[in-house]
Structure 1
């Protein structure tokens, strides 16, 4: 089990460190995205003192305007979806299924129903925002292949977790033991401490991550159940997401007024109506489903993120389905999957839960990093020959990967935020350039780690990380004219929180660089003088070795 834990953990520790770190940052993808659009943030601040918009009183008229738009512009779409009261701007939006697949959308004028054409401002920077960390976390920016790599890595992580618990018989006792400045012992104590601290979280986050893509990772049940369907995955998703959807009859029928159904639905589910979804518009088999809003207070009380829903057959006016908030249409399995997904994405509990996920994610990230470093520290204590004559070269490569995967990735993450401020606003495909900057900086850190001595590489990359973090607020002032003081003064805690967190990480990086610089390596330590005791011990060791070989 020790062997399994060591080697299964080592080869995925670098990738798991990246997945955990970016997943931890993804907890606050919205605030990061907010900071990466400073022009939008300043525009929001300019309107922050204005009185909130009054509650919409003409929802029925808005629905009629949207229906008229859809009938004129997209009469053959199989599904119309209307959001009559978009929060917080109280706008009106329409969505539909494109003939070639995917969603189409349009924002409408709530007074006239005319489509509003959005022309991006020349001064508004385009950015991938905090969603970069989300994409990297679950697919490494490699689409389907990336999802499978992350899935296999997560499965190996579960193996490493289980074998680690079995290996460390005194794991809970070791949690309360830390011996600083003891080399390998200190790294093992740190590894054990952060592992025990976040162990339940790590099991939960790994398992729920696999469940999230369960129909991809374990496709056989779906393939067997829908074997006769032309498109197996589509048939599965249609039944999962559109349970009870009727087939079109081919007989025409005018779309009736939908506001009375919205009022009935609000009574049935106890929520304000958010979306109106009309299946087979203009057909006698029309079905309308009314979906409610999940208020913040509701998501602090339950883990399931499903909203209330009520469906009606428009030919008869009969209520054919109702789902209360927090429930699921497709039974216990669907509800379980929804809860698992929400557990993974911290979709409940509000801001306190997000901070708990963030801290547990950092602990898990530290566990991956300390495990990778511990491997090298242990190997330095003995002369191993696991890889024959190339063993020194293999360990040199592992040392380079340790530096690049841990310190180098940290530099790449903060470099991504710097790229947001330094890349020209008007450049084409600007979000792609931000992502390229992230990978470019990471590659440079790998090259640097391979070209420099290991200790120097650690010190220099940690120092660079600290400098970039601590200077991020200065960069923001120079590039946008906005400061952290101004952000706090206007109540923009999302932007201020990003910069304050960067400062904290910068201080930690500076401390790490200083401690690494002060810690002597094996080459720095003076050789021990030969004593009679040492000579006797060495002779006994050589004698035992020779006897064993003979």
Structure 2
């Protein structure tokens, strides 16, 4: 078990560190996107003010229905968002196109005219926080990348279980930290962050695999439903209780939506978010109204589903209803929804988001301290695991440690710097931000292999500290904005990003200074007994 924990943990620690670090940042993907789109912040503030103003929703619904009737009469589904609360106060329509893909159009809420794709060209193109979301579970490759991360997650479960089995004094050592003791200090730090967040690590790894089960374990679905995208949609529709009705071909005029929406709001106890019309303008038409989750709703249930009421298009008979937090489809559907929301932290408000962020960073620290501990132990005593190539293998691992830990953090902050430095009108600007992330990461790897490990650690931690601490200065120079002004106008999302960067900058600077002051040669260490080395 000690061998399994050591080597499975080592070979996957670099990838898992990346998954945990970017996953922790993904918890606050919306504030990050907000910070990375400063030109839109004025529009967002204006929309927030407009959200409290009265909206002629009935008129907006009429305009959206008129647009869909003229432009997309043959679509099997219409979806109307009369108010996009929290982002902009606009009117948006969605539908499935001829290829079965989700399409959308933003409409003028006063005239119903379709707004072109360039009506907000003053904003910079960026992936924003979505970059961290996509990277942490697909590595920006929904095919192979998803499988790689899933395999690494299974290895993480193996490492967690073998670590618990191996570590006989897990609770006692959790309350023990011996500073400035070399290998023992790294082991104490590794044990502390691992034990502190052990339930979270098990939960996040297991739920991450479960929510991708249809992709990772396709055989049962293929055996019952067949292969292909259509079979997968049929499986999901049946599991989630979606009732698909065939078109009759008999025309039916679209009823007025506002009375139906008002009735649905009374039934579900929520403000209407979206109106989904299945088989529009057909006698089999169904109209489903979905609500908005208020903060209080996220505290009552782990499931983040909103309330829903569905009516027949002919006569307005109530066909189905679910409360907020409920699901259609029974226990299997509820289990899948809860697993998904547990993994994504879609409940409990801001407190849960910060808890997930802290536990995620602790998970990254667990991976990082484990990788560093491996090399600290090998410096004291070579295990000769790779025969004549052991020294070269250790040098390779040292470089990977630096680049995977400090280098990835530099790449993440470099992504923020690229957002501020790249010209707003640059073609394929979002792609260039992403390229900047990967190019920065690659350069840190080259630097880690060209320098001695100690110099590489000090240089990269110093660079990380400088990039984090100077990020608010960069915003001040490029935009004339800074945390004090952000707090004054109530923009806590932008202020939170920059203040968190400062905190990590201080931490990185402290680590670089400590390493710089550390003696070049570590004091000789007592050779551990066999059972103590196995426990480590």
Indicate how the Cα distance of structure 1 residues 460 and 133 shifts in structure 2: closer, same or farther if over 3 A, else same.
Answer: same
Deviations, residues 95-114 of structure 1 (Å, cap 9, x unaligned):
11111122221222333322
Give the whole-Å Cα distance in 1 for the aligned partners of 2:256 and 2:48. Answer: 38
1:492 Cα shift?
A: 1.2
Give the whole-Å Cα distance in 2 for the aligned partners of 1:377 and 1:86. Answer: 53
Give the whole-Å Cα distance in 2 for the aligned partners of 1:186 and 1:12. Answer: 22
1:6 Cα shift?
A: 0.4
Structure 1 counterpart of 2:90: 91
Mapped contact 2:210–2:339 kept (Cα < 8 A): yes
| 3-state SS of paired residue (1:231) | helix
Give the whole-Å Cα distance in 2 for the aligned partners of 1:175 and 1:279. Answer: 56
> What's the TM-score once normalised by structure 2's chain length?
0.94
1:230 Cα shift?
A: 8.5
1:117 Cα shift?
A: 2.8
1:51 Cα shift?
A: 6.9
1:313 Cα shift?
A: 2.1
Selected match of 1:72 from 58, 70, 91:
70
Q: What RMSD over aligned residues (CA atoms) do the two structures have, in Å?
A: 2.1
Matched, 1:340 2:339: yes
1:321 Cα shift?
A: 1.4
Deviations, residues 399-433 of structure 1 (Å, cap 9, x unaligned):
11001100111111111111111111111010110
1:326 Cα shift?
A: 0.9
Mapped contact 2:273–2:291 kept (Cα < 8 A): yes
Give the whole-Å Cα distance in 1 for the aligned partners of 2:422 and 2:102. Answer: 31
Matched, 1:62 2:60: yes
Indicate how the Cα distance of structure 1 residues 429 and 230 shifts in structure 2: closer, same or farther if over 3 A, else same.
Answer: closer
1:66 Cα shift?
A: 1.4
| 3-state SS of paired residue (2:324) | coil
1:229 Cα shift?
A: 8.4
| 3-state SS of paired residue (1:372) | helix
Deviations, residues 118-160 of structure 1 (Å, cap 9, x unaligned):
5255542111111111111011112211111111110110000
Give the whole-Å Cα distance in 1 for the aligned partners of 2:66 and 2:478. Answer: 46
| 3-state SS of paired residue (2:327) | coil
Structure 1 counterpart of 2:378: 379
How does 1:37-436 map onto structure 2 within 5 Å?
37-44=37-44, 47=46, 53-56=52-55, 58-88=56-86, 89-121=88-120, 123-227=122-226, 231-241=230-240, 243-436=242-435
Give the whole-Å Cα distance in 2 for the aligned partners of 1:50 and 1:67. Answer: 26
Structure 1 counterpart of 2:35: 35
| 3-state SS of paired residue (2:79) | strand
Indicate how the Cα distance of structure 1 residues 370 and 29 shifts in structure 2: closer, same or farther if over 3 A, else same.
Answer: same
Mapped contact 1:476–1:483 kept (Cα < 8 A): yes
Structure 1 counterpart of 2:16: 16
Mapped contact 1:229–1:235 kept (Cα < 8 A): no
Deviations, residues 435-459 of structure 1 (Å, cap 9, x unaligned):
1001000000000000000101101
Residues 314-323 or 154-163, more deviating: 314-323
1:233 Cα shift?
A: 1.2
1:311 Cα shift?
A: 1.4
Mapped contact 2:51–2:89 kept (Cα < 8 A): no
Deviations, residues 47-66 of structure 1 (Å, cap 9, x unaligned):
4995754233x333322221
Residues 123-132 or 436-445, more deviating: 123-132
Give the whole-Å Cα distance in 2 for the aligned partners of 1:91 and 1:338. Answer: 29
1:461 Cα shift?
A: 0.5
Residues 182-191 or 247-256, more deviating: 247-256
Give the whole-Å Cα distance in 1 for the aligned partners of 2:454 and 2:219. Answer: 49
Give the whole-Å Cα distance in 1 for the aligned partners of 2:48 and 2:27. Answer: 28
| 3-state SS of paired residue (2:433) | helix
Mapped contact 1:273–1:290 kept (Cα < 8 A): yes
1:228 Cα shift?
A: 8.5
1:521 Cα shift?
A: 4.2
Indicate how the Cα distance of structure 1 residues 295 and 467 shifts in structure 2: closer, same or farther if over 3 A, else same.
Answer: same
Indicate how the Cα distance of structure 1 residues 507 and 427 shifts in structure 2: closer, same or farther if over 3 A, else same.
Answer: same
Gaps of 5+ in 2: 528-536
Gaps of 5+ in 1: 529-533, 538-550
Greater radius of gyration (CA)? 1
Mapped contact 2:60–2:112 kept (Cα < 8 A): yes
Give the whole-Å Cα distance in 1 for the aligned partners of 2:383 and 2:84. Answer: 64
Give the whole-Å Cα distance in 2 for the aligned partners of 1:247 and 1:121. Answer: 39
Mapped contact 1:53–1:90 kept (Cα < 8 A): no
How does 1:487-506 map onto structure 2 within 5 Å?
487-506=486-505
Residues 395-404 or 510-519, more deviating: 510-519
| 3-state SS of paired residue (1:86) | coil
1:164 Cα shift?
A: 0.4
Deviations, residues 331-362 of structure 1 (Å, cap 9, x unaligned):
11111111111111111111111111111111
Deviations, residues 185-224 of structure 1 (Å, cap 9, x unaligned):
1110000001011111101111111111011112122112
Give the whole-Å Cα distance in 1 for the aligned partners of 2:116 and 2:504. Answer: 42
Mapped contact 1:30–1:130 kept (Cα < 8 A): yes
1:484 Cα shift?
A: 1.9
